Chain A
Amino acid sequence: MKLFREAIIILGIYLLGEFISEVLSLPIPGNILGMIILLFLLCTKIIKLEQIETIANFLLDHLAFFFIPAGVALMTSVDIIKDSWLKLIVVCIATTIIIIASTGLIVQYITRKNNKRGEKLEHINK
C-alpha cells in the first residue's frame, strides 16, 4: 500500500506542475515545475524523503530504460541526420570539451579565491 501512497504524492505533484504550467501558460514544462515543487516541499520538510523513497529509488535506478522508445524513434528521422551524423558527432565532442574546460576553470577559480580569503581571515584571527 505504501507504493500507492507514494505514487499519489509524485503523480499529484506532477499533475499540479502540468496544471500550473498550462493555466498560467508558462514557458516552463509541467514536469520541471513538478521537480521544483517537490524540491521545495522536501526542503521545507512538508514531505519527508521516507514518504517517497520506494518510488524515487525505482524511477532513479531504472531511469535509462524509460528513454528507449524515445531513442528508437530515431528510425523515423534517419533521413534528416543521414548526411550530417558525422558533423553531429563533431559538435558533440567539441562542445563537450568546451563545457568541461569552461565550467571546471570557473569553479576552480572561485573555490581557490574563496580558500585564499578563508586562509587570510584565519591568519588575522590568530
Chain B
Amino acid sequence: MNTLTNNLLFGVVLSLVAFELGLYINRKTKLPLLNPLLIAIALVIAFLVAFNIDFEVYNNGAKFINMFLGPATVILAVPLYKQIESLKKHSKAILTGVFFGSIIGMFSVMGLSYILGLDAMIIKSLLPKSVTTPIGIELSSQIGGIVPITVLAIILTGIIGAIMGPTICKIFKITDRVAVGVSLGTAAHAIGTTKALEIGETEGAMSGLSIGIAGLMTVFIAPLSYSFGHYLYTIFIK
C-alpha cells in the first residue's frame, strides 16, 4: 500500500477518479446539492480517512494540480471578453449593482459572523465566499484566511445561490432579466450561472459576465472592507 500511495501519481489519480464519480453522480441525479466538486472532495477525504493516509501523502502528488490555478485565473479574462458587448450596453446598471452588492455582501458576512461569535480566522476565510474559486483562494491567503474553509464556503454559497436564487428573486420582485442574471453571478459565481442559464439566455450571459466583474472588484474591495470593518469593531465594540 505504501509503495502505491508514496508514488506522486497517487494523489492525481485519486483526484481524477473522485471527480469522474462526482460528475457521474451529478449527471444521474441532477441535484444541485450533489455538486461534482463537493462529491469529489468528500470522496477523497473519505478514502484517505478510511485507509489512514495522511493529507501530506496525498498532497505530494496532488499539489501539482494546484499549478493550474494561476493560469486558470488568467484565462477568466476570456469569458469576460466574450461578454464585453453586453457589458457596454448595461454598464452603469451592472457595475453599480455588482459593486454595491459585493460591498453589502462583505459587510453582512462580517456583521453576521460577529453576531454569531465566529473566529477572526474564519471571518477572513468567509469574506471572499461569493467570488469564483481561483480568485477566492488567492484572496483568502492574501488577507490571512484559511484557504480550504474558503473553498468550502465558496462551493456551499454557489449551491445555496443556485437552489434559492429564483425564489429570492421572486420574493423581492426582481423580474428584469439583466438584474436576475447579475445577482446570481455576483452572489453565486459559476454554480449560480448554471442556474441562470437554465432560466434564460440573457440571464446566463449576464451571470457569466458578473463572475469576472465581481471577482475583480472584490480583489480591490475586500482588503479595504476588512480593515474598515475591523476599525468599526475596535471603535464601537471594544
Contacts and interface: CB of A to CB of B under 8 A. Distances in A.
B29 interface: no
B81 A49 contact: yes
Nearest to B123: A91
Contacts of A3: none
Interface string B7-33: 000010001101100000000000000
A34 to B, nearest CB: 4
B169 A70 contact: no
Contacts of B137: 67, 70
Interface string A79-105: 011001001111111111111111111
Interface residues of A, number: 70
Pick from B73, B93, B112, B118 the residue with the most CB of A within 10 Å.
Answer: B73
B34 interface: no
B158 to A, nearest CB: 9
A104 B174 contact: yes
Contact of A31 (B48, B74, B116): B74
Contacts of B73: 31-32, 34-35
B236 to A, nearest CB: 20
Given A80-B121, A103-B183, A60 B151 contact: no
A110 to B, nearest CB: 4
A23 interface: no
Interface in B165-206: 165, 168-169, 171-172, 174-176, 178-180, 182-184, 186-188, 190
Contact of B96 (A87, A93, A95, A110): A110
B51 interface: no
B164 A68 contact: no
Contacts of A14: 70-71, 74
B92 A100 contact: no
Contacts of A10: 71, 74-75
A62 B17 CA distance: 14
Interface string A36-66: 1111001100000100100110011001111
B99 to A, nearest CB: 9
Interface of A: 10-11, 13-14, 17-18, 27-32, 34-39, 42-43, 49, 52, 55-56, 59-60, 63-77, 80-81, 84, 87-108, 110-112, 114
7 contacts: A32-B216, A66-B134, A88-B156, A96-B164, A98-B105, A104-B172, A108-B176
Given A60-B79, A70-B148, 17 more contacts: A60-B76, A68-B62, A69-B11, A71-B148, A72-B41, A72-B45, A74-B41, A74-B148, A75-B45, A88-B152, A95-B108, A95-B157, A97-B164, A100-B186, A101-B168, A103-B183, A111-B176
